[in-house]
């Protein structure tokens, strides 16, 4: 095996795999180094109740069409599916459950005085949020995070009671840590165009509605993207090395178990370029397969996002996966698949998840109704701060959370790198 190639990609998650495929299709030779025994990183499968389900990412944002285009190029276009439009619910800090307001984006209401908003935040906070439509559009224009923008334009109750639970549940991060332009591309420009945050939300929602659902999935599981990428890489001759952690990254070399692998290095794994063992924030997923016919009615739509401090619940989000995805309901044959996420999970996770699911769905789930349980543990990277002479970086730590951002970054960097190589 040659220990040199045009490009050496360190990390075999979606970010690294998409980059590798683009580079090899552009005529370059590529080595992919993956520390673990399998590719895909946080896009992974697990078997629970005899069914293969996603153990990490289970959907993707449709904005920009980036992931759909990738899926189509991998012959998975016909398997792109939309979720149940019923939508999710919110469990408030006071312990009540509400449908998420209809006209909202990341929890930001497009109509702050609408009944479904005021029911959650109250009339006074709704009125404060409505001020957003009266103040100049440049107010808050310099906000770097989602939290800062919402606090400034619509006030704290909207941030705390609507936006934060969604940031926590969907992005595993606080709204004050989510970079505005990464998590809501185009929102800043829409505020200027439309004159207010509320009107910008309505405008972006309309654009998305015209394009279909804001998120989509893959029939059979999002992990199929990884299988398809892996088989393309092997077909095109990419040298994929599992159980090969890269260390000591330089622009033109990386070390694996003391051996130098040379080529233009790209870091595609979170944390690689920091001098620290900090792996980021732990996220634990509990997946339950439940036989409880009372769940057939999908009492909380596709799931529940939980506000911090909601009494008696430790999960920060629950996805009723079989209510969300028709293909999964079919595969589960009348059983229900519930997926709960936790910041802090102990050994008693199976019991805690069962109790949380019952509380959040408002349906009893006795121990005997649980047919199977699986636990998956992940780390989310902390935000990366680039330094001038770093090797190029793809993946979540620079692109932001989510497949749409990660894939877009890899596609863009591939273009730059191939352009450099030509020039």
Ligand X SMILES: Cc1cc2nc3c(=O)[nH]c(=O)nc-3n(C[C@H](O)[C@H](O)[C@H](O)COP(=O)(O)OP(=O)(O)OC[C@H]3O[C@@H](n4cnc5c(N)ncnc54)[C@H](O)[C@@H]3O)c2cc1C
Q: Which of 5, 13, 90, 178 binds ligand X (CB under 6 A)?
A: 13
Tell whether residue 245 is a contact of ligand X (CB under 6 A): yes
Least CB distance from residue 230 to ligand X, whole Å? Answer: 12
Coil, strand or helix at 390: coil
Q: Which of 51, 146, 283, 370 binds ligand X (CB under 6 A)?
A: 283
Tell whether residue 41 is a contact of ligand X (CB under 6 A): yes
The mark string for 351-390 relative to ligand X (x by CB under 6 A, - otherwise) is: ---------------------------x-x----------
Q: Which of 380, 371, 379 is nearest to 338 (CA)?
A: 371
Tokens 């549940």 identify what position? Answer: 169
Tell whether residue 270 is a contact of ligand X (CB under 6 A): yes
Tell whether residue 16 is a contact of ligand X (CB under 6 A): yes
Task: Give percent helix, percent strand, percent coil of the chain, each to the nearest 5.
Answer: 40, 20, 40
Burial class (CB in 10 A: 0-12, 13-18, 19+), 93: middle
* Residues whose CB falls within 8 Å of the CB of residue 153, separated by 6 or more in sequence, listed in order: 132, 135, 139, 140, 191, 196, 197
274 Ramachandran zone, left/alpha/beta (phi>0; psi -120 to 50): beta
Tell whether residue 342 is a contact of ligand X (CB under 6 A): no
Bridge partner residues of 260 (DSSP): 255
Q: Which of 106, 305, 396, 417 binds ligand X (CB under 6 A)?
A: 396
Tell whether residue 19 is a contact of ligand X (CB under 6 A): no
Q: How far is CA 119 from CA 98, 132, 159, 366, in A?
A: 8, 19, 15, 32
Tell whether residue 403 is a contact of ligand X (CB under 6 A): yes
Tell whether residue 310 is a contact of ligand X (CB under 6 A): no
- Stretch in the footprint of ligand X (CB under 6 A) among 52-60, 116-124, 295-303, 382-390: 52-60
CA distance 408 to 266: 16
Tell whether residue 34 is a contact of ligand X (CB under 6 A): yes
Least CB distance from residue 256 to ligand X, whole Å? Answer: 8
CA distance 19 to 317: 31
Q: Which of 299, 305, 285, 282 is nearest to 358 (CA)?
A: 299
Q: Which is nearer to ligand X, 8 or 290 (CB)?
A: 8
Query: How does strand 317-320 pair with strand 303-306?
Result: antiparallel
- Stretch in the footprint of ligand X (CB under 6 A) among 54-62, 75-83, 91-99, 349-357: 54-62
Tell whether residue 260 is a contact of ligand X (CB under 6 A): no
Q: Which of 59, 161, 287, 322 binds ligand X (CB under 6 A)?
A: 59
CB atoms within 10 A of CB 50: 12
Tokens 């069914």 identify what position? Answer: 51
Q: Which is nearer to ligand X, 7 or 60 (CB)?
A: 60
Tell whether residue 76 is a contact of ligand X (CB under 6 A): no
The CB-side HSE value for 191 (13 A sphere, CA atoms) comes to 26
Q: Which is nearer to ligand X, 117 or 340 (CB)?
A: 340
Tell whether residue 10 is a contact of ligand X (CB under 6 A): yes
Tell whether residue 42 is a contact of ligand X (CB under 6 A): yes
- The count of residues interacting with ligand X (CB under 6 A) is 36
Query: How does strand 60-61 pair with strand 80-81?
Result: unpaired
Tell whether residue 337 is a contact of ligand X (CB under 6 A): no
Q: Which is nearer to ligand X, 130 or 342 (CB)?
A: 342
Least CB distance from residue 33 to ligand X, whole Å? Answer: 5
Least CB distance from residue 359 to ligand X, whole Å? Answer: 21
Interface contacts to ligand X, rule CB under 6 A: 10-16, 33-36, 41-43, 56-61, 245-246, 268-270, 272, 283, 285, 378, 380, 395-396, 401-403, 406
């Amino acid at each position: 095996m040659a220990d040199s190639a045009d490009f050496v990609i360190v990390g075999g998650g979606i970010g690294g795999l998409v980059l590798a495929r683009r580079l090899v299709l552009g005529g370059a030779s590529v080595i992919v180094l993956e520390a673990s025994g399998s590719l895909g990183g946080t896009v992974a499968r697990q078997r629970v109740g005899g069914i293969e389900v996603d153990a990490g990412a289970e959907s993707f944002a449709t904005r920009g069409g980036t992931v759909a285009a990738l899926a189509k190029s991998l012959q998975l276009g016909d398997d792109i599916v939309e979720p149940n439009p019923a939508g999710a619910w919110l469990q408030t800090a006071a312990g009540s459950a509400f449908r998420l307001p209809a006209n909202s984006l990341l929890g930001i209401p497009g109509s702050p005085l609408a009944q479904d908003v005021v029911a959650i935040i109250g009339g006074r906070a709704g009125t404060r949020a409505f001020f957003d439509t009266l103040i100049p559009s440049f107010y808050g224009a310099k906000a770097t995070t989602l939290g800062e923008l919402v606090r400034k334009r619509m006030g704290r109750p909207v941030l705390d009671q609507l936006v934060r639970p969604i940031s926590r549940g969907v992005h595993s991060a606080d709204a004050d840590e989510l970079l505005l332009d990464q998590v809501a591309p185009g929102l800043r420009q829409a505020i200027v165009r439309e004159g207010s945050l509320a009107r910008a939300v309505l405008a972006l929602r309309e654009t998305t509605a015209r394009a279909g659902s804001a998120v989509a999935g893959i029939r059979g599981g999002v992990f199929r993207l990884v299988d398809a990428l892996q088989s393309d890489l092997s077909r095109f001759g990419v040298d994929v090395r599992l159980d090969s952690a890269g260390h000591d990254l330089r622009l033109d070399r990386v070390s694996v178990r003391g051996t130098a692998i040379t080529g233009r290095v790209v870091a595609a794994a979170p944390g690689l370029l920091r001098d620290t063992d900090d792996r980021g924030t732990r996220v634990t997923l509990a997946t339950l397969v439940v036989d409880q016919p009372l769940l057939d009615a999908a009492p909380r739509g596709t799931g529940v996002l939980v506000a911090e401090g909601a009494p008696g619940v430790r999960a920060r989000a629950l996805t009723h996966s079989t209510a969300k995805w028709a293909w999964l309901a079919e595969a589960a044959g009348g059983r229900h698949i519930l997926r709960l996420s936790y910041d802090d999970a102990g050994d008693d996770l199976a019991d805690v998840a069962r109790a949380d699911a019952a509380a959040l769905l408002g349906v009893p789930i006795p121990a005997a109704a649980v047919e199977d349980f699986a636990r998956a543990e992940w780390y989310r990277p902390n935000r990366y701060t680039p330094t001038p002479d770093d090797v190029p970086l793809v993946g979540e730590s620079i692109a932001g959370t989510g497949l749409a951002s990660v894939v877009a970054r890899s596609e863009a960097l591939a273009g730059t790198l191939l352009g450099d190589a030509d020039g």
